[in-house]
Amino acid sequence: MPNKPIKEYVRADADLTVLASGVVLVTAAPLKGYLEIVTEDGRLRLVITGGAAADLIIDLKQFLALEQAR
């Protein structure tokens, strides 16, 4: 994975709260679209595929398991 800022944006000095999120599908390409995350800093849109969504689910489940173990 690249370990550099995206277009010089880094928010590491304070928590960034997710206000909303959603996936927008591209009707012309099944299982392709973008993940939109809304924060107090603005909107972040990431292109996402079915494979990336599956990986994200795994990561989120691991995060929730760690939180529940606390």
Nearest Cα neighbor of 6 from 55, 57, 45, 37 is 45
SS3 (DSSP) at 28: coil
pLDDT in tens, the chain (70 residues): 556 656 666 666 677 788 999 988 888 876 778 898 888 888 888 888 888 889 999 999 999 999 999 8
Q: Which amino acid is at 28?
A: A
Q: Tell me the C-alpha distance between 69 and 5, whole Å.
A: 31
* Amino acid letter, 34: Y
Q: pTM to 2 decimals?
A: 0.65
